């Protein structure tokens, strides 16, 4: 049996580890266009800020230990699903019995004039931060385009490296994927105190300079000096090599509850896959790290023949900027007719908001009050009716004591 995995990130590790739970003898081949040992993409901002010096996701003997043959630094140009061959840019063929497509996401870059100049970067891969690391200096003017999760992690790292940071965002607020307006304002305010300048409801219409960027022109006609520009607008599923193939793709590659694609023996997982979202009751790309691992692991188990079902997920994030931390999950902007529980303590920047419908939690966002949040995520997953203790969900020290005795016993003792 030969398992082939396209991609060398979190979903790939999940798949390798899932396969090895059941099949110790089968051959595993991992292919990636990046030349690096398996690393963790969320760590790139920590590397840029110099909080960490290595970003590897698994130990250096990982491939050896899991008996994986890595083919790194070679791009896959095509998959022949009929012949079951993966075709590399070198024209080598890698035959598979079972294939996992874990090609992840790629940065969305608009066709802004001047985007091809030197010192214009994206913010997703190790090479991106290696380039940024060389281009920045103390006092450098850096423009970050996009005020989402990765954009603002870039901002934090750049501030730690003593750059002057300006954020340009198309929407009227920051962090639109994880916070409502009120929550976003708290974070924006905290970052402004650190010296970040925000241009909201705006965009970069042109990147100017000779070979290197030296300023940008905004849609509002403002001109801002710029030594470095970083596009962090968003990530889209990396499906380019599968266009014009029979593989069923919506936004991402469609998979069923076994992580199988529309083509036999071909599976997909992670940021490229469009799997079940239990909150909306439909398939959706949810590009978060835990999903990538879990989906990869389930794909791996199914590839060995051990039937394992993916129950679905929903968006959830834990992210911090300096001493402020955010956790959020599920719905961010509630539809009409939903119950909203809210607590805001401006002096400590503590914010807790929970959305309920028929006693079930549809979403929450917590700022600076995050302990034991996993319990609440667990209630969402298991569709628990929280009506009888809902007010306690707003408290900083929410815990099992707040639950009805029988429910607590069941949770804690499994009886």
Partner 1 sequence: MELKTKKRIYAKEDVCIGCHLCEIYCILAHSGTKDLIKAFNRVNRPSPRVLVEEKEGYSITFALQCRHCDDPLCTKACITSAMHRDEKTGYIICDEEKCVGCWSCILVCPYGAIIRDENKKVASKCDLCIESGSPICVENCPNEALELRELEEDSK
Least spacing, CB of residue 75 vs partner 1, in Å: 26
Residues 8, 69: contact at Cβ < 8 Å?
Answer: no
Q: Which is nearer to partner 1, 59 or 220 (CB)?
A: 59
Binding site for partner 1 (CB under 8 A): 14, 21, 40, 42-43, 46, 51-52, 57-58, 289-290, 293-294, 297, 316-320, 325, 327, 329, 370-375, 377-378, 397, 399-402, 411-414
Residue closer to partner 1 (CB basis): 46 or 121: 46
At its nearest, how many Å lie between partner 1 and the CB of residue 46?
5
Nearer to partner 1, 51 or 212 (CB): 51
Of residues 137 and 400, the one with the C-beta less far from partner 1: 400
Least distance in Å: CB of 380 to partner 1?
11
CB of 239 to partner 1, least distance (A): 24
Closest CB to partner 1 among 46 and 267? 46
Smallest separation, CB 132 to partner 1 (Å): 19
Q: Between 42 and 114, whose beta carbon lies closer to partner 1?
A: 42
DSSP strand pairing (85-88 vs 235-237): unpaired
Whichever of 26 and 42 has its CB closer to partner 1, that residue is 42
Cα 401 to the center of its chain, rounded Å: 33
Nearer to partner 1, 283 or 313 (CB): 313
Nearest approach in angstroms of CB 50 to partner 1 is 12
Answer whether 367's CB lies under 8 Å from 325's CB: yes
Q: How far apart are CA 164 and CA 158, in angstroms?
A: 8
Nearest by Cα to 143 from 161, 124, 118, 169: 169
Residue at token pair 């002096």: 347
> Shortest distance, CB of residue 294 to partner 1, whole angstroms?
6
**Among 58, 92, 61, which residue's Cα sits nearest to residue 74?**
92
- The CB-of-83 to partner 1 minimum distance in angstroms stands at 34
Q: For residue 154, how many C-alpha atoms fall within 13 Å in the half-sphere facing its CB?
A: 33
Q: For the CB of residue 5, give the shortest distance to partner 1 in the complex, in Å.
A: 17
Give 86 or 329: the residue with its C-beta nearer to partner 1: 329
Radius of gyration of the chain (CA): 23
Q: State which residue, 84 or 161, has the beta carbon closest to partner 1.
A: 161
Burial of 307 (0-12, 13-18, 19+ CB in 10 A): exposed
Tell me how far, at minimum, the Cβ of 363 lies from partner 1, in Å: 14
């Amino acid at each position: 049996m030969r398992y082939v995995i396209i991609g060398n990130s979190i979903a790939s590790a999940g798949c390798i580890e899932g396969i090895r739970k059941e099949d110790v003898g089968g051959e595993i081949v991992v292919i990636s266009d990046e030349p690096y040992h398996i690393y963790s993409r969320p760590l790139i901002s920590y590397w840029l800020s110099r909080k960490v010096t290595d970003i590897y996701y698994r130990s250096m003997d990982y491939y050896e230990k899991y008996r994986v043959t890595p083919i790194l630094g070679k791009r896959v140009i095509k998959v022949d699903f009929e012949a079951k061959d993966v075709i590399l840019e070198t024209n080598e063929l890698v035959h598979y019995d079972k294939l996992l497509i874990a090609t992840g996401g790629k940065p969305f870059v608009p066709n802004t004039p001047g985007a091809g100049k030197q010192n214009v970067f994206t913010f997703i891969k190790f090479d991106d931060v290696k380039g940024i690391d060389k281009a920045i200096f103390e006092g450098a003017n850096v423009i970050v385009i996009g005020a989402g999760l990765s954009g603002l992690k870039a901002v934090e790292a750049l501030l730690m490296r003593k750059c002057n940071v300006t954020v340009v965002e198309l929407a009227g607020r920051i962090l639109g994927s994880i916070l409502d307006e009120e929550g976003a304002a708290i974070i924006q305010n905290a970052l402004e105190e650190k010296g970040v300048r925000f241009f909201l409801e705006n965009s970069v219409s042109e990147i100017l300079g000779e070979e290197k960027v030296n300023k940008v022109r905004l849609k509002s006609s403002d001109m801002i000096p710029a030594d470095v520009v970083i596009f962090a607008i968003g990530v889209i599923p990396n499906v380019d090599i599968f266009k014009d193939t029979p593989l069923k793709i919506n936004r991402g590659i469609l998979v069923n509850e076994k992580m199988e694609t529309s083509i036999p023996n071909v599976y997909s997982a992670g940021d490229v896959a469009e799997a079940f979202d239990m909150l909306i009751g439909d398939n959706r790309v949810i590009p978060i790290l835990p999903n990538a691992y879990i989906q990869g692991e389930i794909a791996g188990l199914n590839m060995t023949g051990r039937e394992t079902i993916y129950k679905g997920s929903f968006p959830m994030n834990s992210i911090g900027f300096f001493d402020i931390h955010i956790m959020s999950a599920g719905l961010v902007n509630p539809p009409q007719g939903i119950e909203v529980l809210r607590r805001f303590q401006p002096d400590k920047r503590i914010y807790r908001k929970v959305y309920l419908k028929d006693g079930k939690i549809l979403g929450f966002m917590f700022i600076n009050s995050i302990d034991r949040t996993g319990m609440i995520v667990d209630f969402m997953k298991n569709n628990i009716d929280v009506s009888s203790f809902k007010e306690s969900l707003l408290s900083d020290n929410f815990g099992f004591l707040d639950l009805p005795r029988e429910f607590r016993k069941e949770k804690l003792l499994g009886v």
